[in-house]
């Protein structure tokens, strides 16, 4: 028989992977071919940050690295750069998860916004450093702002629909 905490961790990880792949599938759909619109938020990164801050034991670093590497390959971005940025960002958030848990949501949102902005700047610097094509700065800033604006919505949905409320630690995370 499987331990209930281990079963909860495995089910949480499976749900995270399924939601991540659903978001990736949605991004790959040709919903408006030929039309260039506003860049949307990076919902996969929002989901990863919310999950790491709510249930860090359910999303190991290897899972995040593999999923974001698959996303880099399928979206034809520089292979591994987005995955590296996601791993560094989520691990920075995971390291501070216990301290952020007691703070009001607005402080968490501000810190996540700063983290996302730093990730955007680091990504841009690395692209320039290796002479890779840089996406237009305006689009990158708009996507970052859209991702920051989407974070509270993803967090609210995760809390209400997925059962990942903030501020309540599982027994597993208290005794780490």
Mean pLDDT over 149-165 rounds to: 92
Tell which residue, 23, 49, 162, has the closest CA to residue 109.
Answer: 49
- Angle CA(105)–CA(111)–CA(112) in degrees, nearest 5? 85
Distances (CA, A) of 76 to 41, 68, 82, 125: 18, 12, 11, 19
Report the alpha-carbon distance of residue 126 to residue 121 in Å, rounded: 9
pLDDT of 173 reads: 44
Is the pLDDT assigned to residue 123 strictly greater than 60? yes
pLDDT of residue 143: 95
DSSP helix/strand/coil, 79: coil
Q: Average the pLDDT over 34-45 and give the result.
A: 85
Task: Quote the pLDDT of residue 71.
Answer: 97
Picking from 165, 145, 170, 167, the residue whose alpha carbon sits closest to that of residue 155 is 165
Q: What is the pLDDT of residue 1?
A: 65
| Mean pLDDT, range 108-113, rounded to an integer | 95
- Look at residue 168 in the predicted model and tell me its pLDDT: 53
How many C-beta neighbours within 10 Å does residue 136 have?
Answer: 9
**pLDDT tens digit string along 132-148?**
999 999 999 999 999 99
pLDDT in tens, 42-99: 999 999 999 999 999 999 999 999 999 999 999 999 999 999 999 999 999 999 888 7
Residue with tokens 């209930």: 4
């Amino acid at each position: 028989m499987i331990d209930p905490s281990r079963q909860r961790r495995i089910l949480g990880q499976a749900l995270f992977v399924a939601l991540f792949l659903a978001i990736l599938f949605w991004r790959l759909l040709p919903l408006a071919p030929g039309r260039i619109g506003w860049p949307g938020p990076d919902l996969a990164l929002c989901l990863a940050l919310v999950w790491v801050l709510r249930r860090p034991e359910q999303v190991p670093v290897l899972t995040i690295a593999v999923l974001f590497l698959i996303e880099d390959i399928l979206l034809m971005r520089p292979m591994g750069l987005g995955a590296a940025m996601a791993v560094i960002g989520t691990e920075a958030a995971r390291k501070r998860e216990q301290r952020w848990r007691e703070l009001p949501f607005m402080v968490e949102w501000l810190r996540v916004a700063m983290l996302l902005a730093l990730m955007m700047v680091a990504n841009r610097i690395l692209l320039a450093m290796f002479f890779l094509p840089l996406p237009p700065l305006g689009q990158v800033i708009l996507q970052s702002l859209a991702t920051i604006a989407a974070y509270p919505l993803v967090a609210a949905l995760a809390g209400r629909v997925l059962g990942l409320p903030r501020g309540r630690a599982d027994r597993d995370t208290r005794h780490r």
